[in-house]
């Protein structure tokens, strides 16, 4: 089967969508599928590189040159010609990873050139942070969903709660994200180290609430991994007397540097405040490392991944007192923390393993490709 994946960026670019796209690509290549990938690149120059596979012919990774990125949307002059070139290879399945408005518009513009290809959308999230942009893009995403042959989401909560997905629920498949747990286990010795936060330093991640919670626990320490617009403000808050010397802002780290830090932590804390946190892929990495997770009870996949009382704790978003209470319970009972961390490892193997995700995706692709009809995009 030939598959075309259209994403926003690709590693080494950091982000949950990028991590998932790479895992899907590598997993499908390992199964012997032919996989082409089209994304935005890190410079103004468009590059092409081979994607090699132990089995099968491999594929091609195209990073389109970017001339600007207003509102986080990369503008790529070569997007249309590169997309047209890849469509001429007649892929069996084309998957657009949404949100990705410019690529969605390009696909709709070239809809008739898809021919017999099955057009699918992996719907990662509603656009919630940029409210005006989300409103303006609704006609685009509605048209995309109407014309595609199938939709995939990572959690049942996203399928059930997204107003844009509601009309398409019968043909929306739930395929949980998955990771390769082995690298996270290799350097893992979870114990009574510091608490750990990993993510972008932006408002909806709730790091300010986490600092207020840690301030209530005089013996607690915290490592913050990540970068973003709130770094300076968080650094000033961490320097105040109630936190001084107990909080370290370590900046953005690659996985090689993050793994030993995660492997020795007491727990991962994901204190997100808003629906913009649709899954929290870092939870899987922490669970694979044997860490319990303290997350917020959001109406998203966050609360599906961490099971309260089994693999971690769930608390009310935006409540530093509730978060401090859960942190105190965890730190006071390392035996229970270890029990929940071990349960998290088992849950990754059973539900969130990369091989399981890729197998489910490949089976879904095969069903779509074999189904009669299709080609809604050509209407």
**Comparison of pLDDT for 8 and 374, the residue scoring more:** 8
Q: What is the mean pLDDT of residues 146-161?
A: 93
Whether the per-residue pLDDT at 276 is higher than 90: the answer is no
Whether 364 shows a pLDDT value over 50: the answer reads: yes
Which pLDDT does position 128 carry in this prediction?
64
pLDDT digits (tens, 9 = 90+) for 35-76: 999 999 999 999 999 998 777 788 999 999 999 998 788 999
pLDDT at 132 over 70: no
> Which tens digits make up the pLDDT trace of 204-222?
999 999 999 999 999 999 9
| Right CATH for 2-178+354-378 from 3.40.50.970, 3.30.930.10, 3.30.70.260, 3.40.50.2000 | 3.40.50.2000
What pLDDT is stored for residue 378 in this prediction?
43
> How does residue 190 score in pLDDT terms, banded at 50, 70 and 90?
confident
Of 172 and 55, which is predicted with more confidence?
172
Whole-number percent of the chain with pLDDT over 70: 96
Task: Kindly indicate whether the domain formed by 182-351 is annotated with CATH number 3.40.50.2000.
Answer: yes
Q: Where are the domains of the chain?
A: 2-178+354-378, 182-351
- pLDDT above 90 coverage of the chain, percent: 84
Average pLDDT over residues 269-286: 93
Same fold, 2-178+354-378 and 182-351: yes
pLDDT score, position 135: 66
According to the model, what pLDDT value does residue 379 have?
Answer: 36
The model carries a pTM of 0.90
Residue 53: predicted pLDDT? 75
pLDDT of residue 244: 96
Greatest mean pLDDT among 65-79, 117-131, 305-319 lies in 305-319
User: How far apart are alpha carbons 147 and 162 in whole angstroms?
Assistant: 18
Pairing of strands 118-123, 59-64: unpaired
pLDDT score, position 189? 75
What's residue 72's pLDDT? Answer: 82
């Amino acid at each position: 089967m030939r598959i075309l994946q259209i994403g926003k960026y690709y590693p080494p670019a950091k982000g949950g969508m990028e991590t998932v796209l790479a895992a899907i690509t590598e997993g499908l290549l390992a199964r012997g599928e032919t996989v082409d990938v089209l994304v935005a690149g890190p410079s103004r120059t468009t590059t092409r590189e081979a994607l090699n596979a132990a089995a099968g012919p491999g594929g091609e990774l195209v990073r389109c040159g970017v001339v600007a990125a207003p509102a986080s949307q990369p503008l790529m002059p070569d997007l249309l010609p590169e997309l047209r070139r890849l469509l001429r290879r007649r892929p069996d399945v084309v998957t657009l990873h949404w949100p990705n408005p410019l690529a969605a518009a390009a696909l709709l513009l070239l809809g008739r050139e898809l021919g017999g290809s099955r057009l699918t959308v992996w719907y990662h999230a509603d656009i919630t942070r940029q409210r005006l942009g989300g409103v303006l893009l609704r006609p685009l995403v509605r048209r995309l969903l109407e014309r595609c042959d199938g939709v995939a989401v990572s959690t049942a909560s996203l399928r059930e709660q997204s107003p844009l997905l509601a009309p398409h629920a019968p043909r929306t498949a739930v395929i949980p994200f998955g990771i390769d747990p082995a690298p996270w286990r290799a350097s893992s010795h979870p114990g009574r180290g510091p608490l750990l936060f990993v993510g972008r330093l932006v408002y909806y991640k709730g790091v300010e609430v986490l600092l207020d919670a840690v301030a209530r626990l005089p013996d607690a320490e915290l490592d913050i991994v990540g970068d973003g617009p709130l770094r300076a403000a968080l650094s000033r808050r961490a320097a105040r007397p109630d936190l001084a010397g107990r909080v370290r802002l370590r900046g953005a780290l690659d996985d090689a540097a993050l793994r030993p830090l995660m492997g020795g932590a007491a727990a991962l804390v994901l204190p997100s405040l808003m629906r913009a946190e649709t899954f929290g892929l870092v939870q899987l990495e922490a669970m694979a490392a044997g860490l319990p997770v303290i997350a917020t009870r959001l109406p998203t996949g966050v609360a599906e991944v961490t099971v309260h009382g089994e693999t971690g704790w769930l608390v009310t978003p935006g409540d530093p007192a509730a978060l401090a209470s859960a942190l105190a319970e965890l730190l006071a009972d390392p035996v229970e923390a270890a029990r929940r961390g071990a349960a998290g490892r088992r849950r990754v193997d059973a539900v969130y393993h990369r091989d399981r995700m890729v197998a489910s995706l490949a089976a879904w692709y095969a069903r779509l490709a074999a189904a009669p009809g299709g080609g809604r995009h050509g209407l």
